[in-house]
Amino acid sequence: MASPQLTIDVLTLFPGMFAGYFDESIMKRAREKGILALTIHNLRDWATDRHHAVDDTPYGGGAGMVMMVNVLHAAVQSLRREGSRVVLLSPQGRVFNQGIATELSRTEHLIFISGHYEGFDERVRHLCVDDELSVGDYVISNGSLAAMLVIDAAVRLFPGVVGDERSVQEDSFAEGILDYPHYTRPRVFQGIAVPDVLLSGDHEEVRRWRRREALRRTRDRRPDLLPSASLTPEDRAFLREFDEEQKRGKESDQ
């Protein structure tokens, strides 16, 4: 039986930026297995003038150049099919996270538009785009790097891409919290030892320790994640323990 396939088309002005990253490691293996069909397109291929222009000065004046709607529309229409989802990378989009990565991994055909210059003609959003994503509250030189980040996060969730799928299930944010601490050899390094529970062979205690430490790390580093995380009664008991530890610590300092 043939492997399921995730098809991705990327529209960019810098196709060479994608070559190195997607020819290595997990992305390379996904393509070789036939799980991922990735095609990088140069937007200039849809330009209509002899200079292959894809941008022009903004109406009303102002700094920078604006990506032209006719070029983007022609490119998207040539690639779109039933079930396609067109994603525009933009600082104005909803902020990308693990939940959105999961959504994308369940889509049969994705078209990413990675921009450059000052931005896009507003009509691109109305005529071409199904979703608009930002990789954070900052601005980078062009959308190609953002597209690579989003594609990587989505593709690694697709069945068969990562060798041991447990590693995907236990990633940070997979359940709305951060990952637990990891250790390997040597057992002791510069006076810091691997926690004894990880060497005990007691699988249930290892599970409890990992969950407890994942919750502790989330509470300490990203407490904003906890209100929307999927927490079990055991998780809530761990959090109450942390509160009690913190309370006792404050009392002992007084």
List 91, 179, 181, 208, catalytic entry: 91
List 44, 45, 85, 118, catalytic entry: 118
CA distance readout (Å), 89 to 49, 73, 193, 244: 26, 16, 44, 44
List 156, 212, 216, 219, catalytic entry: 156
List 130, 171, 179, 213, catalytic entry: 171
Beta-carbon contacts of 190 under 8 Å, excluding residues fewer than 6 positions away, are: none
Q: Which helix (H) or strand (E) holds 111?
A: strand 109-114
What's 158's DSSP letter? S
The question of whether 118 is a catalytic residue gets the answer yes
Residue 3 and residue 36 in contact, taking contact as beta carbons nearer than 8 Å: no
The question of whether 82 is a catalytic residue gets the answer no
Alpha-helical runs (H) found in the chain: 16-22, 25-32, 69-79, 98-105, 123-127, 143-155, 165-169, 203-221, 233-253
The question of whether 91 is a catalytic residue gets the answer yes
CB atoms within 10 A of CB 66: 20
Beta-strand pair 109-114/84-95: parallel
Residues annotated as part of the active site: 91, 118, 156, 171
